[in-house]
Amino acid sequence: MATQKRVSSVEMSPSEARWITLKKITYTDPDGKNRPWEMAERKTRSSSGVDAVAILAILRSRKNTFPPSTVVIEQYRPPIDKICIELPAGLIDEGETAESTAIRELHEETGYTADRVLDSTPVIVSDPGMTNANMKLVTVSVWLEDELQHPQPNLEPGEYIVTKVVPLAELHDTLEEYSKNGCMVDARLSHFAVGYQFAQKIKDDALP
């Protein structure tokens, strides 16, 4: 695979942009005074009111041949000009629910088939100081009969995604390794991994 890299970056006006716009907000503060705020906004949002869904897939073996694991993807992201490590994710199409998007996107991006939804968060916001971008995190269960399978994804033209299966107990350290090797890790995935590792340490009474 040839290296993906940024070749140019130029300022553009909102009228030229198809996907994003800049807005100047005015809001009233608690003292009733008007104050300004600058934000970036997506021009596209489905009638569901939710932009995207991220998928936490829990892979387990009925014969216990591998530990509970999850799927992360490696993908070049132009805004940071690096390979980014993220949960599988996708935009919600018109008429879709977050949960059906999660099952569809997991299958398309990674080839794994979810058999049920374990959890679905309320609508949450990715960077509320700067944008209104929002999403849901959907946790799905993927049971495999025996050993770990690596099915073929069904990527769309222009999608270049590599799938990695990581045991949940190793996720935190695996993400640190990715960072050391020049990849960037998504903050939401990183927070999940910190939460997971932290709960284990508290239970084991291993916190300093």
Q: Which of residues 18-77 bind a copy of itself (CB under 8 A)?
A: 18-32, 34-35, 37-42, 56, 58, 68, 76-77
Choosing from 129, 145, 147, 152, the residue that interacts with a copy of itself (CB under 8 A) is 129
Which residue from 53, 69, 72, 86 is in contact with a copy of itself, where contact means CB under 8 A?
86
Q: Residue 126 is encoded by which pair of tokens?
A: 């990715």
Q: Which residue in the set 65, 93, 125, 167 belongs to the binding site for a copy of itself (CB under 8 A)?
A: 125
Of 71, 92, 137, 166, which lies in the binding site for a copy of itself, with binding defined by CB under 8 A?
137
**Two structure tokens written together for 128:** 């509320």
Site for a copy of itself in 91-110 (CB under 8 A): none
- Stretch near a copy of itself under the rule CB under 8 A, chosen from 98-106, 144-152, 184-192: 184-192
The yes or no reply on residue 185 touching a copy of itself (CB under 8 A) is yes
| Cα separation, 162 vs 73, whole angstroms | 5
- Pick the closest to residue 140 from 107, 93, 184 (CA basis): 107
Residue type, 139: T
From the list 99-107, 145-153, 191-199, the region that binds a copy of itself by CB under 8 A is 191-199
Tokens 């998928």: give the residue: 55
176 is a contact residue toward a copy of itself (CB under 8 A): yes
Using an 8 Å Cβ cutoff, are 124 and 136 in contact? Answer: yes
Minimum CB distance to a copy of itself, residue 182 (Å): 11
3-state secondary structure of 164: strand
Q: Which stretch binds a copy of itself (CB under 8 A): 94-102, 103-111, 121-129, 148-156?
A: 121-129
Cα separation, 92 vs 105, in Å, equals 9
d(CA 8, CA 11): 10
Identified binder of a copy of itself from the candidate list 69, 101, 110, 190, rule CB under 8 A: 190
Q: Identify the sign of the CA torsion 169, 200, 59, 75.
A: negative
